[in-house]
Every structure is written in structure tokens, then in C-alpha cells.
């Protein structure tokens, strides 16, 4: 199988499995236990926290381990809203993931919040000027903008937006799930107060993630109960996941500094050949301001579901967009926000690569895609 759906999930690296292995067997003690057998577990968790902090360029104590990006974002939104009950206005991007859209829509419907959803242009880019205009001094409780879009890879101007939020004293939340491990990040320099991450997006295990909370920000926990995570996230820690997340973060940091090539050149060559060889094909989103591994392409006269089936038969795994929308009959809100109509949005495929993706794999994927588009069009002609 040629796997080109790394934005949905990534295979765990062998070194991650190796790091986790002792915690399947001998290191089974509850990490909150006072017995000597808990010490190696506590040390492993502390090391993992340091490894994740090194990848993100933040302090270890600024991280809260969570079940993933969705929990982290819900926790951040909960914290900023319950601490400012007098502020009833939220600003989010129109292309946010459901992990932001969902809780914000709930607050809008059931708690009476007003929500501004910032528009994007045809390339999926948000203008800082639009954000400045949307801010309501003394009323805006939070701004939430994703770092890298999960469907198109488009990058928002996070540093500029966070600086604007800080100038107005507004907490800034970013969904950095699709950015971590794919590009160098410095939370220390970014200006954001809250950032969410998920381990399975960069060769870690599923079911583990982290929420960054800037050290000078107050935090109101979403999950109540025990004293774990410095009283910020109750519940027995997912030791296996935490250790695996730390190992994945270490590998990602090593890859950044090792000179291992990003998949950008392969992606760009693939896109160029697709647009050259397949009539009626178009690229979605900015081709300059995006993460290196993501390509969103649409094919006139085709439907994504049919193309994915034909590609699957040819040994290529891609996607129609977010895994959270698999099976939905609705077009992608990301693509419609960019101005695409129903037919164009439903004809879009996402190809997401890894550093390990080879040129030979991309060549075979290209041939399979050319065949699949031709086959689909012949069937509906």
C-alpha cells in the first residue's frame, strides 16, 4: 500500500513502540503510587514531558497531557470562558477543525455566546485586518485560529494574530495538531497562550496529546477529580501514551536538526505532474503558505468517493479531507469557505505525505491517480 493520508494518522515509529514496551509489562504500577516501583514510571513521564517541550520550545511545566487534540481544545475553550463569564463573544476561523467548531457552536446555541467566524480568501488565507475589525474590546473572551489547516495545509499568520490578541488582553488559542512535527515550532516566541497537539499526527500513539498553557495564564480544569497533572487534568495518567508521545517528539526534533529532507519537493513535483497530465485538475489553497506535506487537489467531473475507491483498488490510500467527516454527504466547510461550490468541493482529494515517503511511491501514486480519474470520467460520461 502507498499510504498518503498522514494528516489523518501516522504509523507509529519503531522507536516509539520500543519506548512503550516496558510499560506494557513490568512497569504497570499506578504512577501516583508512593511505592518504589512507581519511580521508573514517574521518571519516564518526566522525560517525556521534557521531550515534548523540546519539540515545541516551551517549558515542561507548561504542558498538560490529554487524550488528544480535541480534548486539549475543549479544555482551553472551557478555561477561558468560565474565567471570563462577563465576556460573551468569541472569534474563530471559518476553516477551523470540528474540535473548535463543535464546542463554540454549543456555547453559541446553549449559552448565548456571539461568535464571529473570520472569512478566508480563495487561497484559504485569513487577513489579520479582518481579525482586528472583529475584536470587541472588553467583550471578546477568546480568539481561536488553527496553525495549519488539516485539509489544505494552509498556514495562518499565528504570530501576528497572537500579538494583536495580546494588545487587547484577549486569550489566544491555536490548534497546532497539523503543525507539530511537520515544521519547527517555538511556542516561547509565538505569543499564543494555549496550543493543542496530538501524538498520532507525528508517529506517536493514538489517544494521547497535550495542551500548552503559557506559564503566566490561569487555567480552570475541564476534568475534575484527582490531583494528576498538577491538578489541571484529573484521572490516572495514560503512561503508555505519554511515553510514546515523548519518543515521537524526540524523533521529530531529531529529524528537524538532521537535515532529513521534508516532503515538499516530492509534493510539489507530484502536484505539477497532476496539473499537467490530468485535464480539469486544480490545486486548492495557497501553494506558498502551507505545511510541506499537504496537497489538496480537485478534479472536474469527478466525485471524491469514487476516486478514493479506484485509488484503493490500485493500492493508494488518500482521503477526501478530514477523517472526522468520513461518510458525510456535506461538502467540506473548509473548501466552501474558500469559495468552492458543491461540485468542486466534492471532487477534492487530499494527499498528505511523510518524510519517509519515497519518490518511487509518488510516481506510482501519480500513475494510479491518472488512471483513476480517466476511469471515473469514462464511467459517468
Report the catalytic residues.
324
Residue 173: its H or E element: strand 172-175
Paired sense of beta strands 2-3 and 172-175, if any: unpaired
- DSSP alpha helices (H): ranges in 259-332? 264-277, 304-313
Q: φ and ψ at 34, to 5 degrees?
A: -95, 0
Q: Tell me how far the alpha carbon of residue 163 is from its chain's centroid.
A: 22
Give the C-alpha separation, 32 to 28, whole Å.
12
Paired sense of beta strands 194-198 and 172-175, if any: parallel
What are the residues whose beta carbons fall under 8 Å from the beta carbon of 185, sequence distance 6 or more?
55, 56, 57, 147, 176, 179
Give the C-alpha separation, 380 to 345, whole Å.
18
Give the C-alpha separation, 197 to 180, whole Å.
7
Give the C-alpha separation, 187 to 368, whole Å.
40
C-alpha cell at 29: 504500577
Contact 344, 298 (CB under 8 A): yes
Amino acid at each position: 500500500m502507498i499510504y498518503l493520508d498522514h494528516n489523518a494518522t501516522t504509523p507509529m515509529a519503531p522507536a516509539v513502540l520500543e519506548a512503550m514496551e516496558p510499560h506494557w509489562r513490568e512497569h504497570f504500577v499506578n504512577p501516583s503510587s508512593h511505592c518504589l516501583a512507581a519511580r521508573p514510571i514517574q521518571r519516564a513521564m518526566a522525560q517525556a514531558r521534557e521531550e515534548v517541550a523540546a519539540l515545541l520550545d516551551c517549558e515542561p511545566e507548561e504542558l498538560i497531557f490529554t487524550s488528544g487534540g480535541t480534548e486539549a481544545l475543549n479544555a482551553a475553550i472551557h478555561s477561558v470562558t468560565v474565567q471570563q463569564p462577563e465576556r460573551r463573544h468569541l472569534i474563530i476561523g471559518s476553516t477551523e477543525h470540528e474540535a473548535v467548531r463543535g464546542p463554540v457552536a454549543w456555547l453559541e446555541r446553549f449559552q448565548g455566546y456571539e461568535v464571529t467566524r473570520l472569512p478566508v480568501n480563495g487561497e484559504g488565507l485569513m487577513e489579520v485586518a479582518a481579525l482586528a475589525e472583529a475584536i470587541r474590546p472588553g467583550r471578546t473572551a477568546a480568539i481561536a485560529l488553527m496553525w495549519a489547516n488539516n485539509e489544505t495545509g494552509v498556514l495562518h499568520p499565528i504570530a501576528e494574530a497572537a500579538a494583536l490578541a495580546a494588545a487587547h488582553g484577549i486569550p489566544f488559542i491555536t490548534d497546532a495538531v497539523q503543525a507539530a512535527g511537520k515544521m519547527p515550532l517555538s511556542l516561547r516566541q509565538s505569543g499564543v497562550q494555549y496550543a493543542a497537539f496530538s501524538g498520532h499526527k507525528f508517529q506517536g500513539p493514538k489517544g494521547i496529546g497535550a495542551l500548552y498553557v503559557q506559564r503566566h495564564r490561569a487555567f480552570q480544569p475541564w476534568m475534575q477529580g484527582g490531583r494528576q497533572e498538577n491538578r489541571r487534568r484529573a484521572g490516572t495518567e495514560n503512561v503508555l501514551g505519554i511515553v510514546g508521545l515523548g519518543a515521537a517528539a524526540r524523533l521529530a526534533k531529531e529529524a528537524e536538526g538532521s537535515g532529513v529532507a521534508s516532503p515538499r519537493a516530492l509534493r510539489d513535483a507530484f502536484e505539477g505532474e497532476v496539473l499537467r497530465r490530468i485535464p480539469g485538475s486544480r490545486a486548492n489553497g495557497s501553494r506558498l503558505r502551507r505545511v510541506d506535506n499537504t496537497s489538496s487537489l480537485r478534479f472536474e467531473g469527478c466525485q471524491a468517493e469514487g476516486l478514493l475507491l479506484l485509488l484503493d483498488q490500485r493500492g493508494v490510500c488518500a482521503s477526501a479531507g478530514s477523517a472526522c467527516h468520513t461518510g458525510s454527504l456535506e461538502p467540506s466547510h473548509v473548501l466552501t469557505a474558500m469559495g468552492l461550490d458543491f461540485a468542486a468541493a466534492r471532487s477534492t482529494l487530499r494527499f498528505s505525505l511523510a518524510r519517509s515517503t519515497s519518490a518511487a511511491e509518488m510516481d506510482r501514486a501519480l500513475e494510479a491517480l491518472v488512471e483513476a480519474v480517466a476511469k471515473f470520467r469514462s464511467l459517468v460520461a
